[in-house]
Amino acid sequence: MSAPKPIVHVADSDAALASTVYDYVVERSAKAVKEHGFFSICLSGGSVAKLVGDGLWKKKNVDWPAWRVFFCDERHVNLDSEDSNYNALQDTFFAKVPIKPEHVYTINPKLTVEGAADDYTAKIRIVYPGSDIPKFDLMLLGMGPDGHTCSLFPGHPLLQEKTKIVASLSDSPKPPPARITLTLPVVNNAHCVMFIVMGSSKTGPAAKALDLNKSVDDDDMPPAGKVRLYHGELHWWMNQAAAAEYQVQQAKK
């Protein structure tokens, strides 16, 4: 069985990209709440956190109390650290919407990084009990200039992780080195994944990740390209700068 093709959206401006993403997140939220009474979303840091904080909180008619918020990855730092993905969203998003604090699932930085990963697995099991791979309603993923997503980096052994749903690493090539991350089996099991990719530094990795002629096991396939959902929707939202090389590829077909 082959994975469905990613749905690629190229926005004319960053503002148009943000508006479209906000609308789609609200649509997915309403769908999930109608189907099973809550909406599970996994957020990323960096440019994704900035986009969320810039305006998602302004959306109307959102059942915020039904949200269950997790993080695609997190740095093993205190929650008030400038490096914390949670902290990047605390004032810009969480403080502005009525999501219950107990429904925002953060790491416990007092534990070892390995312990924090195990503890985060237990927190996911609050919403998704049992031993099955959780099926999150939506993941908002970013991508680095090296093609990494979550804290899954090119050539790293965690790309081969098959059993854990949350893994730890202490050797991240991007500081800080100690982190926890959702694993590829979890990402690929989501109902919907949305990549949000902006900037010219991302254009080469984006084109490689979206090259469906390549196998996910190819040596030069970036981690973002290993996200191939079999039972969900995979979207890529890009601005013109990030999509430039991909558009050249498409024009040649």
Average pLDDT over residues 130-152: 96
User: 33-47, 53-67, 171-185, 212-226: lowest mean pLDDT where?
Assistant: 212-226
pLDDT exceeds 60 at position 1: no
User: What is the band of 48 on the pLDDT scale with cuts at 50, 70, 90?
Assistant: very high
Domains and CATH numbers, the chain: 12-252 (3.40.50.1360)
Confidence at residue 183, expressed as pLDDT on a 0 to 100 scale: 98
User: What is the band of 230 on the pLDDT scale with cuts at 50, 70, 90?
Assistant: confident
pLDDT exceeds 80 at position 7: yes
pLDDT exceeds 60 at position 188: yes
Instruction: Say how many C-beta atoms besides its own lie within 10 A of residue 16's C-beta.
Output: 14
- Residue 138 backbone class (left: φ over 0; alpha: ψ -120 to 50; beta: rest): beta
- Asked if 4 and 191 touch (Cβ cutoff 8 Å), the reply is no
Confidence at residue 2, expressed as pLDDT on a 0 to 100 scale: 62
Confidence at residue 213, expressed as pLDDT on a 0 to 100 scale: 84
Confidence at residue 167, expressed as pLDDT on a 0 to 100 scale: 98
> Residue type for 108, please?
N
User: What is the band of 49 on the pLDDT scale with cuts at 50, 70, 90?
Assistant: very high
pLDDT exceeds 70 at position 17: yes
Diameter of the chain by CA atoms?
53
Confidence at residue 3, expressed as pLDDT on a 0 to 100 scale: 67
Report d(CA 142, CA 198) in Å as an integer: 9
